[in-house]
């Protein structure tokens, strides 16, 4: 085996190992909620909407209903500008009775 072939083989093995270990970062539900709350504090409710939604989904999936509700309330606030006050009030009333 030539020196070039050995170097190529080593490079291939190293790159394969790196690609196997390189997994995309998956924020936790708590990280989504923290980011959403930080954006909300900056009055960037539109920017916070996706993180509130994802946090709610993830908390619900693991049975953390308290934090799921907290995220849902944030999502309702984040999307409130696109709905009438009556619709938002009705949604909050449904949550209160559930």
- Domain of residue 61 covers 29-97
Asked whether residue 3 is domain-assigned, the answer is no
- Please give the pLDDT value at position 69: 93
Asked whether residue 8 is domain-assigned, the answer is no
In the predicted structure, residue 82 carries a pLDDT above the cut 60? yes
Does the pTM surpass 0.75? The reply is: no
Confidence of residue 79 (pLDDT cuts 50, 70, 90): confident
Asked whether residue 12 is domain-assigned, the answer is no
- Please give the pLDDT value at position 90: 77
Asked whether residue 63 is domain-assigned, the answer is yes
pLDDT in tens, 3-42: 555 655 565 544 454 444 555 668 899 999 999 999 999 9
Asked whether residue 46 is domain-assigned, the answer is yes
Residue of 47 and 84 predicted with greater confidence: 47
Asked whether residue 22 is domain-assigned, the answer is no
- Helices 85-97 & 65-79 angle (0-180, nearest 10): 170
Residue of 36 and 80 predicted with greater confidence: 36
Asked whether residue 61 is domain-assigned, the answer is yes
Asked whether residue 20 is domain-assigned, the answer is no
**Based on the structure, what is the number of domains in the chain?**
1
């Amino acid at each position: 085996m030539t020196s070039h072939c050995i170097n190529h083989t080593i490079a291939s093995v190293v790159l394969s190992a790196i690609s196997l270990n390189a997994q995309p970062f998956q924020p936790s539900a708590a990280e989504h909620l923290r980011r959403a709350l930080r954006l909300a504090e900056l009055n960037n409710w539109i920017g916070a909407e996706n993180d509130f939604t994802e946090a709610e989904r993830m908390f619900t999936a693991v049975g953390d209903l308290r934090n799921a509700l907290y995220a849902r309330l944030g999502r309702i606030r984040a999307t409130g500008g696109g709905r009438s006050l009556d619709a938002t009030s009705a949604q909050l009333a449904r949550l209160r009775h559930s």
